Amino acid sequence: MNNTFVKYKDLLTIKDYNKETDKEEFVLIPLEDELVFGRYQKSRNMLEYGQQIAIRKTVYNMLIEVAKKLKLSYPNYKLIVAFGYRDMKKQKKFFNEILEKVKDKFDDEMEMLEYIHEKIAVPEVSGHTTGGAVDVAIYDSQENKMLDYGTDILDYNTNKCYYISDEITETERENRELLRNIMVNEGFAPYDGEWWHFSYGDKEWAFYYHKKEALYNQVDAERVFNKVSDKKF
């Protein structure tokens, strides 16, 4: 088996999004919970207004279903969400940082965009800016740590973050597989470039499930703030 990377050009084939489903509100993931809890792993990912991670309400409900099913077989396991919604301004900033470094190395613009997209999504097609993408892991509440996956969550420093890797142990592989199976069974799309990344309703999800359009479009932080139903900042 090989990893399959969704390319920028693949996502360009999803040209539209559903205007009705895109109206859906955002919720904040609780910091402590028996099923699903949110904890930023990188401070630069944090939103200006708080410690809590925002995601679309349907995505949150799906994560709760995943965690409930997980608990039936593994009573100590919960889901930890390390990242969800990202402000479009930050997506553009991170994208431009890489663009500045590499732009002189490429003659072909598409080739350059594909190269950057592997590291950070081109803003116009990015998943985290829709509130539909999440970075998750299974957390063992008895051991007080995440299961072993061979790398830390959000560690892109080596190719060991690819879902399929020759450099991980059998247990680490099984843990990745457990996470992926329960997420995909609930309707999330996986991403082979990062074992922890899953999405629902964004362009990557639409491409993976052969849908004509996405359910969610990119959203500005101001609109997310207005849409959050539980304003306990």
Binding interface with Zn ion (CB under 5 A): 135, 197
Strand 213-214 relative to strand 16-17: parallel, antiparallel, unpaired?
parallel
> Is 29 exposed, middle or buried, given 0-12, 13-18 or 19+ CB atoms closer than 10 A?
buried
* Residue least distant from Zn ion (Cβ): 197
> Helices 170-185 and 57-73: crossing angle, nearest 10°?
130
Shortest Å, Cβ 188 to Zn ion: 12
Cβ within 8 Å of residue 122, ≥6 positions away:
8, 11, 95, 113, 116
Closer CB to Zn ion, residue 175 or residue 199? 199
Find residue 17's DSSP bridge partners.
214
Choice between 87 and 135, CB closer to Zn ion: 135
CB closer to Zn ion, 135 vs 172? 135
Q: Quote the CA–CA distance of 145 and 143 in Å, as a whole number.
A: 6
Using the minimum distance from each CB to Zn ion, give the nearer residue, 84 or 150: 84
What six digits make up the tokens of 144? 């007080």
Tell me how far apart the 2 most distant CA atoms of the chain are, in Å.
54
CB 114, min distance to Zn ion, A: 18
Shortest distance, position 135 Cβ to Zn ion, whole Å = 4
CB of 194 to Zn ion, least distance (A): 6
Closest separation between CB of residue 154 and Zn ion, Å?
8
C-beta closer to Zn ion: residue 130 or 175: 130
